[in-house]
Amino acid sequence: MTDEPTNFMIFPCAFLVEFSKSDFENSIAHMIGLIVYKKNNNFVVMKVDK
């Protein structure tokens, strides 16, 4: 069984929620984290949002 707390990776992810072609600096971005960990023989992906 490989359900150890050290078997994980965190990936920061950013994506655009609202895009303004005329004014890119006013486009709205959102940040989330993806945690990927191994449980038994599978990988589990969990989205972490504020």
Apex CA 14: angle with CA 12 and CA 18, to 5°? 160
- Taking only the tens place, the pLDDT of each residue in 1-24 is 555 667 789 999 988 888 777 777
Tell me the pLDDT tens digit for each residue of 25-34.
Answer: 777 888 999 9
Structure pTM? 0.61
pLDDT at position 16 is: 82
CA–CA gap between residue 45 and residue 50 (Å, rounded): 17
In the predicted structure, residue 35 carries a pLDDT above the cut 90: yes
Domain extents in the chain:
8-48
